[in-house]
Amino acid sequence: MTKHRVIFQPSGRRGEVEEGKTLLEAAQSLGVDIEGLCGSKKVCGKCKVRIEEGYFEKDNIESGMSHLSPITEAEKKHIKPEDGPGMRLACTAEIYGDLKVFVPERSRAGKQVIRKAAKELSIAIDPAVKKYNIDLVPPTLHDMATGDYERVLRFLEEDYGIKGLTFDYAALKGLQDALRQGDWKATVTVWMDREIIKVEPGFVETCYGLAVDIGTTTCVGYLTDLNTGKVVNTESMMNPQVPYGEDVMSRITYAMSNPAGLETMQKAIIEGLNEIIERVVSEIKKDGPNPGHAVDDMTIVFNTAMHHIFLGLNPVYIGRSPFIPAVQNSMNIKARDLGIKINPSSYIHVLPIEAGFVGADNVGVLIAEEPYNQDEMVLIIDIGTNGELLLGNRNKVCSTSCATGPAFEGAQIKFGMRAAPGAIEKVQIDPLTKEPLYKVIGKADWHTHLEKVNAKGICGSGIIEIVAEMFKAGIIDKTGRFVVDLDTPRVRRDSEGKPEYVLAWAEETSIGTDITITQGDVRALQLAKGALYTGAKLLMKRLDVAKLDRVVLAGAFGSHIDREASLTLGMFPDCPMDKVYAVGNAAGDGARMALLNKGKRSEANERARWVEFVEIATDPTFEKEFMQAMHIPHMKDKFPNLKAFLEKSGSKVEIKG
């Protein structure tokens, strides 16, 4: 039987599929949820997927429409020109070659759980964009020497004390009608007390801004009332660049090896952002030709690669040593120049970059957490597709970036998946019987062994808990090696003779096969956590610090990992357990703060330059530190706090105190 390689995006699920199977069958066997209301009767048209064309270096796969059975009449009925090129019905198209398939958001059955909710911020409200109500004396024949422009400026100077304003050209074009429509009562929107970016008839009070966080995998926009600071609506989506590469490096490679690669990806993210804008403003404005124009300001954070691609800057030089970015300082770019569908005269404020691999998202974390205003020695870990670290206090703060690889996001893990319904996210293992208890996303209760829970895979935070629990239960030793002579059917050898632990038996799952943690999974996690620990350790060495006062876990993912599990694994050096805490999407918080307080923008520029970036990979002790940090929790370092904590909770596992 001939088999072909099939990769599904954005989930990243992949495998070999028998020739002649439909894409839907392939999706089901690989645990990818595609909507299929009609049960493959070709009538609902819900299972539309896009076939990627071309050669993809990272996956080494040549994909194209010619690798499928010819398009049928039934499909032609459902596929509309507005769906774009490369669309097929998954229930109908049969596989005759290697394929890379993108499952659009609307065709996905299990929607991803976006873990980037906004939290309350305490910050003084002083936005960059403000609205001023003006009540002009209508001009008469006695006052013919003052133009509309000058009339508005004179009022703003006399009544509000704002001098030297300029007028955005496009906004100026709407001035005359706006003043007369509102019977000389109007509202002027001013950016940074420098430039008028909108004139509306009548008195308008509410002013909206959008804070945007573009992650390698997830993008989110927080629509914010600039007068109250409240988030009015939040919308998110998968980064539409995922089909061009799951990680930053493969996207940079895509830009290098495809002539229009950069433009393609830039267009994808701008379109994606415009979709977020359209959805997010539906809360405040339902009709009109340009609902997004109600938004007058935008701040944006992202990692350096996403930053460059968004701005259409060549990302090649940040993809290789010495990782030099095109620009470090913050930027203000007219929305119309980028094709962002908010008020075209408004500015997109792009937060600054620290260094080649420490981007505006980390600056967001920096200004949100403000380690530079504190006495305690704090380690801030922002875990996404890459790991960025900040260490320091008011005297000095250092930053670095660690190549953790995608293990924390569930990629490169045999049964890894993104955080979506069906993903195992929490686990406990009985140290005596080695039997697990687990909880899947989308179900409130812990699994009790008796019911079918339809587990589908394991998400990143779940993997951390499982490996920590396996260590505490003695299933793996401190080197990460399986202890194979345990009297339980759950620890067994796979077809290649490599050990694995069965977390869920086939009958508990929706994929019809046992969900296991393999020796390879443990190794992938050891590499990832070892990289983080090494980063933290080398920053501590740089600052000559022997112990940490506090550890802050930031990032959508960081907020969901169990602090006990993360300390047990040794993702970072020892710290009192009650001083380890999660702060949620701190990068997004930073973007919101910069939106609400313009002082934060200059603070970001100053602090981004003040922080010292440390390149750890070239440190002469890197190899040795990395090697030691791969053990659980560490080969040599002592963990007195962890030891005390585990002893108190009755764990038998041995930790160096």
In the complex, minimum distance from the CB of residue 471 to another protein, in angstroms, rounded to a whole number: 14
Strand 61-63, strand 129-135: pairing: unpaired
User: For another protein, what does the binding mask look like between residues 401 and 430, x meaning CB under 8 A?
Assistant: --x---------------------------
In the complex with another protein, the residue whose CB is nearer, 452 or 624, is 624
In the complex, minimum distance from the CB of residue 74 to another protein, in angstroms, rounded to a whole number: 36
In the complex, minimum distance from the CB of residue 502 to another protein, in angstroms, rounded to a whole number: 17
Rounded-to-integer distance, Cα 17 and Cα 101, Å: 13
615-644: contacts with another protein (CB under 8 A): 615, 617-618, 623, 626-628, 630-631, 635
3-class DSSP state of 154: helix
In the complex, minimum distance from the CB of residue 67 to another protein, in angstroms, rounded to a whole number: 17
Please choose, out of 57-65, 144-152, 281-289, 420-428, the segment that lies near another protein by the rule CB under 8 A.
57-65
In the complex with another protein, the residue whose CB is nearer, 146 or 257, is 257
- Is residue 60 a contact residue for another protein (CB under 8 A)? yes
- Map 63-88 to HEC letters: ECHHHECCCCHHHHHHCCHHHCCCEE
In the complex with another protein, the residue whose CB is nearer, 119 or 624, is 624
- Is residue 498 a contact residue for another protein (CB under 8 A)? yes
DSSP 516-575: EEEHHHHHHHHHHHHHHHHHHHHHHHHHT--S-SEEEEEHHHHTTS-HHHHHHHTSS---
Among residues 67, 71, 97, 85, which one has the least CA distance to residue 4? 97
In the complex, minimum distance from the CB of residue 62 to another protein, in angstroms, rounded to a whole number: 10
278-317: contacts with another protein (CB under 8 A): 316
In the complex, minimum distance from the CB of residue 405 to another protein, in angstroms, rounded to a whole number: 8
- Map 594-640 to HEC letters: HHHECHHHHHHHHHHHHCEECCCCCCCCHHHHHHHHCCCCCCCCCCH
In the complex, minimum distance from the CB of residue 396 to another protein, in angstroms, rounded to a whole number: 24
In the complex with another protein, the residue whose CB is nearer, 191 or 626, is 626
In the complex with another protein, the residue whose CB is nearer, 44 or 256, is 256
By CB atoms closer than 10 A (0-12, 13-18, 19+), residue 520 is middle
312-371: contacts with another protein (CB under 8 A): 316, 319-321
User: For another protein, what does the binding mask look like between residues 501 and 520, x meaning CB under 8 A?
Assistant: ------------------xx
Any idea which residue has 């505490």 for tokens? 472
DSSP 461-477: HHHHHHHHHHHHTTSB-
In the complex with another protein, the residue whose CB is nearer, 206 or 321, is 321
| CA 301 vs CA 374, 403, 591, 655: distances in Å | 24, 20, 6, 40
Q: Out of 282, 479, 513, 621, which residue is the one contacting another protein (CB under 8 A)? A: 479
Q: Out of 109, 249, 313, 326, which residue is the one contacting another protein (CB under 8 A)? A: 249
Side-chain-side CA neighbours of 429 within 13 Å: the count stands at 25
Element housing 199 (H / E): strand 195-201
- CB of 398 closer than 8 Å to CB of 408: no
What is the DSSP secondary structure assignment for residue 502, as one 8-state letter? E
Give the interface with another protein as residue ranges (CB under 8 A).
57-58, 60, 249-250, 252-253, 256-257, 316, 319-321, 403, 479-481, 497-498, 519-520, 523, 526-527, 615, 617-618, 623, 626-628, 630-631, 635
